[in-house]
């Protein structure tokens, strides 16, 4: 599979978890739109962290978030239930990234969360899913369990350094969606 096919697949692949929660495929968020939102959020959050004196590269955090799900263009989107239970998900995604001819450094940084950029990219993956759930709830879909799960994950994350330094900014951002 070449990169063009991966991009097309990502633009058309609806995230499975939404469909499992009753969102019609025609209204489903695609992998590409999710990754785009996560990348924009990663850039904005990184800029705020940088203002607080945190050593972070907003562009790198954004690129990590943009590429974090590209392997799904080969694999398909694994819903949270499956990805929480599959022991080799990381290995399978690494193979997909290699198959696409992309370097593994961005994926590894995202998965390990050992850098501020990787940590922010992962947080923005979670935040993007949470914000999309809020949008679907406003449309009348029953996504309360997703909102509750991701709300807990967000609270844990923003009580941990370095995100704890911009907790108020993140709450303000979230409240704009409610």
Q: Which residues of 64-76 are buried (b: 16+ CB within 10 A; e: fewer)?
A: bbbbbbbbbbbbe
Report pLDDT digits (tens) over 55-73.
999 999 999 999 998 888 7
Confidence tier at 3 by pLDDT (50, 70, 90): confident
DSSP class of 77 = P
Tokens representing 53 are: 């004196």
Output the pTM of the full model: 0.91
Per domain, the residue ranges of the chain are 3-175
Q: How far apart are CA 93 and CA 75, in angstroms?
A: 8
CATH of domain 3-175: 1.10.3210.10
């Amino acid at each position: 599979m070449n990169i063009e096919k991966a991009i097309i697949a990502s633009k058309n692949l609806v995230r499975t978890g939404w469909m499992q929660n009753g969102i019609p495929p025609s209204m489903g968020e695609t992998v590409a739109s999710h990754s785009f939102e996560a990348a924009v959020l990663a850039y904005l959050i990184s800029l705020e962290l940088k203002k607080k004196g945190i050593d972070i590269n907003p562009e790198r955090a954004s690129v990590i978030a943009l590429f974090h799900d590209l392997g799904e263009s080969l694999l398909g989107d694994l819903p949270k239930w499956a990805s929480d239970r599959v022991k080799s998900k990381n290995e399978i995604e690494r193979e997909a990234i290699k198959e696409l001819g992309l370097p593994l450094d961005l994926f590894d940084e995202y998965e390990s969360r050992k850098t501020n950029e990787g940590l922010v990219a992962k947080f923005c993956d979670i935040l993007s899913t949470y914000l999309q759930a809020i949008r679907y709830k406003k449309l009348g879909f029953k996504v309360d369990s997703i909102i509750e799960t991701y709300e807990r994950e967000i609270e844990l994350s923003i009580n941990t350094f370095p995100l704890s330094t911009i907790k108020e900014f993140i709450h303000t951002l979230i409240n704009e969606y409610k």
